[in-house]
Amino acid sequence: MRMAALLGANALMLVAGLGMLPLLGIARSWRLLVFRCGLAYLCGILLVGIVSAQLALVHVSFGWIGLAVLAALSLGFCAWRLNGTERPGRRRPNWIDGVGFAALIALMIDYGRAFRVAPLNRYDAWAIWALKGHALYTLGWADPVVFAGASYRFANLDYPLLLPSLEAVDFRAMGAFDTRLVHVQFLLFLVAALLALFALLRDRVPALILWLSLFALALAPAVFGQLLTGYADLPLALVFGVGTGAAGRWVITNERWALALATFCFAGTLLTKNEGSLFVLAVFLGLLAAAHARWRALAVAAAVDVLLLLPWRIYVHDHNLRDINYSLGDSFDFEHLRGRLGV
């Protein structure tokens, strides 16, 4: 029953993500919506994560009702925006894609056997992410009694709330703080990222190379092992990876939707872990170097990301939360780097 609830909540995230495709300019017709619908799931997860994380700061909890409203609004917007546009035509199915999808489904079902029984026993998973997800679920919002409490300083309180908010949405959907099934959400992150990469690159990369690359990622033992820990590092890497892929596509093709998608993924990166700020800054600097003539578009993209991060930074500032492990400045501090690298 709880598994069905978790999957149901994720189905609503997928529907919510469909509306993001016309909004971001990824799909300007029904035909393109079908062609790029693989991006919908990751966009939906990020949308729900970003919205619920922002609402958690203003005492609004996000559960079934929030998911249903977001999905309904999304579907309505999608239908309105794409009304009268080109319909998808009949395409001969690509056999490589068919084999790829069948193998991917089989692999995810196999992985699912491990994720649905995994115990929550790794330090960061319970001490940071699940603790915050549980607190959001039981307290209903980012109550400073926990999220700025002196006794909870060990939980990296200045880390943003996208992942705990997503876990809290799952707990509300399941009606329980389920330390076992929460791992399935991490597997679904991988599914969403693989589908997104497929949709993002399918018209730029030969099918064989694309599928081999996706399976190289999905079958990497470190990806399986890290996802199973329930840490935020792999979700961060997956979201950032899709964003970087979209940014690369924008550099080559100058498609505005690719930059919009990158911007959205970078917002997700920034709201997942503080380390994301270094990655996103590095990509923006790289983009500026590679496409300096298009600096205005980049400035708008950066402004949107800063704007989406701003409510959390205000919360951090208001409650005087200090980073105990990482800050962007550390990346440029020689002594810190030397200590971390064990030099």
Partner 1 sequence: MEGRLQSDPRPSQRPPVRLTVVAAAVFVAALAASVLIGANEVRHDVAQSVARDSKLTPAERRHAAGNRLGFNAAAFDAFRVTLQPRERYAVDVPPGAKGPFITRGAVVRAYAAFYFLPAIQVEQADHVFRYRFR
| Chain residues in the site for partner 1 (CB under 8 A) | 28-29, 32, 35-36, 110-111, 113-114, 117-123, 126-127, 130-131, 134-135, 138-139, 145-146, 149-152, 154-155, 179-180, 202-204, 208-209, 212-213, 215-216, 219-221, 224-225, 228, 252-257
Q: Tokens 């209903």 identify what position?
A: 140
Rounded to a whole number of angstroms, the minimum distance from the CB of residue 72 to partner 1 is 26
Rounded to a whole number of angstroms, the minimum distance from the CB of residue 195 to partner 1 is 16
Rounded to a whole number of angstroms, the minimum distance from the CB of residue 167 to partner 1 is 13
The nearer residue to partner 1, 22 or 268, going by C-beta atoms, is 22
The nearer residue to partner 1, 70 or 228, going by C-beta atoms, is 228
Cβ–Cβ < 8 Å for 124, 231:
yes
Structure tokens at 68: 């249903």
Best CA proximity match to 230, nearest among 120, 91, 152, 339: 120
Write the secondary structure of 238-260 as one string of H (helix), E (strand) and C (coil).
HHHHHHHHHHHHHHHHCCHHHHH
Structure tokens at 164: 């705990």
Rounded to a whole number of angstroms, the minimum distance from the CB of residue 47 to partner 1 is 22
DSSP 22-56: HHTTS-SSHHHHHHTGGGHHHHHHHHHHHHHHHHH
The nearer residue to partner 1, 102 or 114, going by C-beta atoms, is 114
Distances (CA, A) of 334 to 276, 327, 328, 330, 331: 20, 13, 13, 8, 8
The nearer residue to partner 1, 11 or 35, going by C-beta atoms, is 35
The nearer residue to partner 1, 204 or 317, going by C-beta atoms, is 204
Rounded to a whole number of angstroms, the minimum distance from the CB of residue 125 to partner 1 is 8
